[in-house]
A and B are shown apart, each in its own frame.
Chain A
Amino acid sequence: MRSLTKAILSTAVLMQAGVVAASDVSKAAAIPVRIEGSIVEGFSLLRGGKPFQIRGAGGHEHLDVLAACGGNTIRTWDVETLLKKTDGVRLIDRAAERGIAVTVGIWLGHERHGFDYGNPRQLQQQRDRVVEAVKALRDHPAVLTWGLGNEMEGPTGSGDRRQIWQEIDRLAGFIKSLDTAHPVMTVVANINPAKVAAIKQHAPQVDILGVNAYSGATGIGGQLRQLGWEKPYCITEYGLPGPWEVEKTAWNAPREPTSRKKAGSYNVATREILADKACLGAYVFLWGQKQEATASWFGMFLPSGEKTITVDAVTDAWTDHWPADRSPVLREVEMPLDGRLLEPGAKLQVTARYRDPEGEPLSYEWEVRRESSDHQVGGDVEQRPAVVPDCIVMADAAGEATVRLPRKPGAYRLFVTVRDGHGSGCMDNWPFAVTTTDEQGSTR
C-alpha cells in the first residue's frame, strides 16, 4: 500500500512537471490546459493548474538539445510526425519523456495544393481526419494545444475567404465536443485587417490565434490590438526576416542575414514576444534544418546536425544563460565577390573568420553552389542545389580561402560551414553571379 501510494505520488509529481516515461505514457492521463485572463490584464496558459509560458520550437528533432536549452514545447504541422516511431518510440512519447509539451498540428488542406473548401466530399474527409486525430491523442499527457491547420488561408492575399474560416470554426467545434482539456489554436500566415476580421466573424470557437511572422513578429501583438482581437495569441513561427522580406541582388537573389545578425534577431524577438502579456508564447522556426532559399536560412541546425548560434541566442533569451558549449561567432569578413557580377573562372581571395567562445579549434568547409531556382511559396519543399566542383582552390584553418569562380555563367552562392567538433557550428553564405564581360555592362 505504501509503495503504491509512493508510486502514485511520484507519477503525479512527474506528470505535473510534464515528464512521463515512455512505458508509462499509455497509462498516463491528459494534463488539462486552460486559458486565464483578459486582453486588458493579459492571458496565461495554465497546464495542470500551473502557469505555462510556451518557450517553443517548430520542429521534431533535437529534443534533448531543446530541453537542455530551456525550451518546453514543440509544434508539429501534422499528426503523422508525432506518431512516427524512432527506435520503437513515437515522437509524442519521446517528448513526454523529456518533459516537452506538444502543440499537435493537424494539417488542413490548402487551396493552392488543390483542396477546395467548397467541395463537400473533400471537407468530409478532412473532418473525419481531424476527429480521428483528436480521438487518438486527446488523452496523451504531452498534448498542450491543438494546432488546427497552418496557413491554409494562403501565404499571400487577404486570407479572408469566408468558407475557409467557417470550416475552421466547424472543426474547432468538433474538437471541443471531443476534448475539453486542450485549447484550439489556428495558425495563419501573418495578419492583415481583413483576415483578422474574418476570423473574428466566422471562427469564434477558435481559442488562440497562432501567427507565423518573421520581420514583423514583435509587432504582431500591437497590431492585433489595433485590429480589435481580444483573445490570446501565439507567434507560431518566427526568427529572422524571410527571403521575401530582405534586400535582393541585381539578379534578384535574396541576401541572407549573417549568422551573427540572425542571432540578434532571434534573441531580441524572443524576449520581446514573450514580454507581451496577451501572448501565450512562441515557437522559433526552425528547430531542425531545411532548404528554403538556402540550406541555412531558417535552419537552426546545420544539415550535418550541429546546433548554430541561433540556438545559443534563443537559449540566452529563454534562460539568461548561454548553453554549455557555444557556437562559433563570425568576427571578420572580407568577401570581394559578395553581391557582384564577376568574370567566369576568375580567382579571388576570401576571408570569413570565426571565434569559438570556448577557444576550441574550428574546421572550415567552403562550397560553391548554384543559386536555388526551385522557388516555392509558403515553405513548400525545395531541392538543395548541388555543389559546383573544383571551385575551392585553397582553404586554411584560419578562415581564408581561394575561390575559382565557375566557368558557366549564372547565379551562385559561396557557403562556409564552420564546426567546433563538439556539436556546434555555423553556416554563412554570400551570393555572386558569373557573367561574360559583355553582360557586365555597368562594370565597364
Chain B
Amino acid sequence: MYRCAAGVRNVGMVWVWLAVSAAVVVGLSRAQADEDFGDFRSATLTSKAWEALGAGKLKSALSFTDKCRELYMEEARNQQGSVNEFASDEDAPKLWALNDVGTCLFIEGQVYEQQKKSKEAVAAYEQLVAQLGYAQCWDPQGWFWKPAEAAAKRIKELEFDAKLD
C-alpha cells in the first residue's frame, strides 16, 4: 500500500485560515471534538487519517477523513472539474484538495472494510472513482499513486469476494 507523503502540497496561509474558520462555523461533533486536527490543513488531516488507520484507530481515522471532506470537498470537486487528465508530476501538487480528499475517501473505504461494512466501503470507493478520479498522491518511491485506481481495484475485489458465498 503506497501512502501519501505529507508536505507535498503547497497550501498557503489563506487556506489554513479558511480551514480554521470553517471548523469554528460548522462546529465539531462529539467524536470529532476528541481529535486533534492540528492546523486543519487537508494535508494534516490526511496524514493523521493514515496514521490512525495504521494504528487500528478506526473511529479516529473516520473523524479525520470526515473533517477533510467537510472542509475541502467543494474545492476538491472544483479542482477535479478543472482538469481532464492526470496532472503532470509538476502540476499535481497544485490540486492539493483533490489529492487529499481523494486519498481520504480511499482511507474511508479501508476503514469500512476493516469494520466489515462492505456496502459503505464500496460507496466510498465509488464516490472516489466517480467524483475525484484525478486525485493523485505522492509515493516516496518516485511517482504519483492514484487512489481512484486503487479504489476501483478494491471494488472488484469486493465483488469477487461476494462470488465466493
Q: Is B15 at the interface (CB under 8 A from chain A)? A: no
Q: Closest CB-CB distance, B114 to chain A, in whole Å?
A: 10
Tell me if A396 counts as interface (CB < 8 A to partner B).
no
B161 and A215 contacting across the interface, CB-CB below 8 Å: no
Near B by CB (< 8 A), chain A positions 215-250 give 215-216, 218-219, 222-223, 226-227, 241, 245, 247
Q: Decide if A193 touches B157 in the complex (CB within 8 Å).
A: no
A265 to chain B, nearest CB (A): 7
Answer whether A193 and B153 are a contact pair too, CB < 8 Å, given A247-B54, A267-B160: no
- Determine which of A192, A261, A309 lies in contact with B141 in the assembled complex, contact meaning CB atoms within 8 Å: A192
Q: Are B1 and A260 in contact (CB under 8 A)?
A: no
A216 touches B161 (CB 8 A): no
Does A223 lie within 8 Å of B157, measured CB to CB? no
Interface string of B120-148 (1 = CB under 8 A from A): 00000000000000000000011101100
Judged by a CB distance under 8 angstroms, whether A17 is at the interface is no
A416 at the interface (CB under 8 A from B): no
Closest to B140 in A: A192
A263-B143 CB under 8 A given contacts A219-B149, A272-B153: no
A309 to B165, CA, bound (A): 13
CB < 8 Å neighbour of B161 from A190, A194, A227, A260: A260
A220 to B28, CA, bound (A): 41
Interface readout for B80-108 with A: 1 if CB under 8 Å, 0 if not? Answer: 00000000000000000000000000000
Compute the total of residue contacts between A and B using a CB distance below 8 Å: 51
- A interface residues, how many (CB within 8 angstroms): 30
- Residues of B near A271 (CB, < 8 A) are 156
Chain B residues positioned under 8 Å from A215 (CB to CB)? 1-2
Closest to B89 in A: A226
Q: How far is the CB of B145 from chain A (nearest CB, A)?
A: 7
A265 and B143 within 8 A (CB)? no
Instruction: Give complex CA distance A216, B54 in Å.
Output: 18
Interface string of A328-372 (1 = CB under 8 A from B): 010100000000000000000000000100000000000000000
Distance in angstroms between the alpha carbons of A118 and B158 in the assembled complex: 49
Answer whether A264 and B160 are a contact pair too, CB < 8 Å, given A218-B153, A272-B153, A329-B165. Answer: yes
Q: How far is the CA of A77 from the CA of B26 in the complex (A)?
A: 60
When distances are taken between beta carbons in the complex, the residues of chain A under 8 Å from B143 are 193, 223, 226-227
Q: B2 to A216, Cβ gap below 8 A? A: yes
Complex-state Cα separation, A444 to B146, whole angstroms: 42
Tell which of B54, B141, B142, B160 touches A313, judged by Cβ atoms closer than 8 Å.
B160
Q: Tell me how far the C-beta of A76 lies from the nearest C-beta in chain B, rounded to whole angstroms.
A: 29
- The residue in chain A whose Cβ has the minimal distance to the Cβ of B53 is A247
Q: Are the CB atoms of A193 and B142 closer together than 8 Å?
A: yes
CA distance A331 to B54 in the complex (A): 25
A190 contacts which chain B residues (CB < 8 A)? 141
| Interface 0/1 of B47-70, CB less than 8 Å to A | 000000010100000000000000
Whether B164 is near chain A, meaning CB under 8 Å from some CB there, is yes
A123 at the interface (CB under 8 A from B): no
- Determine whether the beta carbon of B161 is less than 8 Å from that of A192: no
Whole-angstrom CA separation of A159 from B142 in the bound complex: 13
Given A215-B1, A218-B153, do A264 and B161 touch, yes or no (CB 8 Å)?
A: yes
The 5 A-B pairs at the shortest CB distance, nearest first, are namely: A264-B157, A193-B142, A268-B156, A264-B160, A267-B160
Q: 12 interchain pairs (CB within 8 A)?
A: A193-B142, A216-B2, A218-B149, A218-B153, A227-B143, A261-B161, A264-B158, A267-B160, A268-B156, A271-B156, A309-B164, A331-B165
Q: Knowing that A192-B142, A218-B149 are A-B contacts, what are 15 other residue pairs whose CB atoms are under 8 Å apart, sorted by A's residue number?
A: A192-B141, A193-B143, A215-B1, A223-B143, A247-B56, A260-B164, A261-B161, A263-B160, A263-B161, A264-B157, A264-B160, A267-B160, A268-B156, A309-B164, A355-B165
B binding-site residues for A, Cβ under 8 Å: 1-2, 54, 56, 141-143, 145-146, 149, 153, 156-158, 160-161, 164-165
